[in-house]
Structure 1
Amino acid sequence: MAPSKAPSKRSMKSRRADHAKAPLGSLAGCPFHDLRVKLCAAGLRPTRQRIALGWLLFAKGDRHLTAERLQEEAQASRVSISLATIYNSLHQFTEASLLREIAIDGSRTYFDTNVTDHHHFLVEGANILIDIPQVAVDLLRLPPPPAGKRIAQVDVIVKLRDVELA
């Protein structure tokens, strides 16, 4: 059996052209295509760095990350990106409603890939956030907002500590 030839530049060009002409739905299910569509729909240009960060953020389901943790994951995946670029991208993703920013005591900021209304447990010492469904927290007794203001969002963070055995 003869070894197969490498595809010619012409055939590669023609395949790219066919791919570009393919109906949009035919690419659905491709993780990178879906991520590009998600970024474009949010008004963000799908740059190489945003695609790489988006892959790290969204490919593993709902989770809570700090910028530093995301940089560690990027380095482990051999994605070269500065911490400043990661912060800028995380804030752009947040402004585009792709992420939710959660500030804890003004000292640590997490970015949540689950943008639905929900609350969090914070495991102190381990700095781990755990989702609490919104329906599990009673928000019926909120004070009324000052005149001319409305409540935009309520974030409840319940801090947890290990039970000390006596």
Structure 2
Amino acid sequence: MSDMFPPATVRGLMIGFFPPMVKTSSRSRRGENPAKPPLGELAGCPFHDLRMKLTTAGLRPTRQRISLGWLLFSKGFRHLTAENLQDEAQASKVSISLATIYNSLHQFTDAGLLREIAVDGTRTFFDTNTARHHHFLLDGVLIDIPEVAVDLSHLPLPPTGKRIAEIEVVVRLRDAPAP
């Protein structure tokens, strides 16, 4: 386990990869626990920010969602499969089933925290960048393409009574032949 993220106790549960909550004030207000500052004083704490992100999205911040959310969102924009996330969870000593990971990823997607990208009939990626953009696919890895880099000006008209809801372009790449 990294010295950067020592174990933290939250409501009696040991969570091994969260940064510790630190006391922000040496004075205790009447009736308050000095080690647990008021909510407003935690702004900027990654653990608190993740709990707020889940709550704002309408998701209850359960231990599993917080653990998976930390793994997903603490490393910037990226693309993961459920199996990738399970490997990261195991490496971080987080015990969680693949079924729970799939359920949580779909809940995060439904709440607007992730984008689901189906690249073929057997593989689905989850993207932490929810802004509109497209992807290159090379050797099983997705690479972001800015939305403005793809010209979609000549699309066919949808059938009467229908509208285009979303367009997602996945450009599959392979190595060019040697000259």
2:98 is the alignment partner of 1:95: no
Q: Does the alignment pair 1:33 with 2:48?
A: yes
In structure 2, list runs of 5 or more residues that go unmatched. Answer: 1-27
Find the counterpart in structure 1 of residue 165 from structure 2: 152
Deviation at 1:14, TM superposition (A): 2.2
Aligned partners of 1:153, 1:28: CA distance in 2, in Å? 35
- Displacement of 1:151 in angstroms is 1.1
- In the alignment, which residue of structure 1 is the partner of 2:148? 135
Alignment match, 2:16: none
Residues of 1 paired with 2:33 and 2:44: CA distance? 23
Secondary structure of 1:141 counterpart: coil
Q: Pick one of 130, 137, 154 that aligns with 1:122.
A: 137
Q: TM-score normalized by structure 1?
A: 0.86
Q: Secondary structure at the match of 1:129?
A: strand
Per-residue CA deviation, residues 27-69 of structure 1 (Å, 9 max, x unaligned), is 1110010000000000000000000000000000000000000
Matched residue, 1:64: 79
State which of 55, 59, 73 in structure 2 corresponds to 1:44.
59
In the alignment, the residues of structure 1 paired with residue 33 and residue 131 of structure 2 have an alpha-carbon distance, to the nearest angstrom, of 42
Q: How far is the alpha carbon of 1:164 from its aligned partner?
A: 2.2
Deviation at 1:77, TM superposition (A): 0.2
Secondary structure of 2:33 counterpart: helix
Once residues 52 and 146 of structure 1 are traced to their aligned partners in structure 2, the CA distance between those partners, rounded to angstroms, is: 44
Query: Of the two structures, which has the highest relative contact order with CA contacts closer than 8 Å and spacing of 6 or more?
Result: 1
Q: Which runs of 4+ in 1 moved over 3 A?
A: none
Paired amino acid for 1:14: N
Q: Distance in 1 between matches of 2:64 and 2:33?
A: 28
Report the TM-score when normalising by structure 2: 0.80
Q: Secondary structure at the match of 2:34?
A: helix
Q: CA RMSD in A?
A: 1.4
2:97 and 2:113 map into 1 onto residues whose CA distance is: 21
Q: CA deviation at 1:23?
A: 4.9
